[in-house]
Amino acid sequence: MRNPELTTKLESIDWSAFSESMHEKGYAIIPNMLTATQCEELKNAYENPDLYRKTVVMERYRFGLGEYKYFKYPLPSIISDIRTLIYPKLAPIANLWFKVLKIDIEFSTTHKEMLEKCHENNQFKPTVLILKYGKGGHNTLHQDLYGDVFFPIQTVMFLNQPDEDYTGGEFVLTQQTPRAQSKAIVLKPNKGDMLVFTTNFRPIKGSKGYYRVNMKHGVSEVQSGERHTLGIIFHDALT
């Protein structure tokens, strides 16, 4: 039985406007996906070692400054429900992107089938993660792929309120258009909001058809306070 509150929330979303934003910008924000109580529960669970399979200290790998933890299966129900219920809304967008770019890959309509594809490629490890930054924390520009099988759209949920719980720490997207300078996009979603964005590239229509622009994401330096986010990636990892 899926979370009825979450189901109602997803049914209230204007998915046509959402899809338009994804096609035009490569990202879209769904406000108030999580309640304040759910945000606090996820933050408090950060200290529960039973929930996680791996902890990464970002500075050690030159990923930035901060820490994140990968959840292990079974995922907490709210995370599992969001991943399962929102995936079918994103698959048609991903399929259209790949079609116009003439990439011969079609994504399944259910998340269960997506995971089965990962498992056929020996990708069994969950990639859902929670990230924690303190003062000076940041995340260098990157892409979350984890293996040959990947889904090209992912989400981040914001568990703190910017300019109240922390300052700085803006979410940064960069867009690299061929033969042009990179474009930076800086976002400050509110507590409980979900940001949906491309994992690694998106199509843009030019005078001779569609072409591919690569995108990366990261986090600018936190100036004060603590910043927590929950990242939901729809494919599993090799390690």
For residue 7, give both structure tokens. Answer: 């189901």
User: What is the reported pTM?
Assistant: 0.95
Give pLDDT tens digits for 164-197.
999 999 999 999 988 888 899 999 999 999 999 9
Averaged pLDDT for residues 100-110: 96
Largest CA distance in the chain: 53
123 has a pLDDT exceeding 50:
yes
1 has a pLDDT exceeding 50:
no
pLDDT > 90 in the chain, percent? 92
Averaged pLDDT for residues 54-63: 95
Give pLDDT tens digits for 110-119.
999 999 999 9
101-135 as b/e, with b when 16 or more CB fall inside 10 Å? beeeeebbeebeebbebbeeeebebbbbbbbbbeb
- Which pLDDT does position 4 carry in this prediction? 84
**Average pLDDT of the chain, as a whole number:** 95
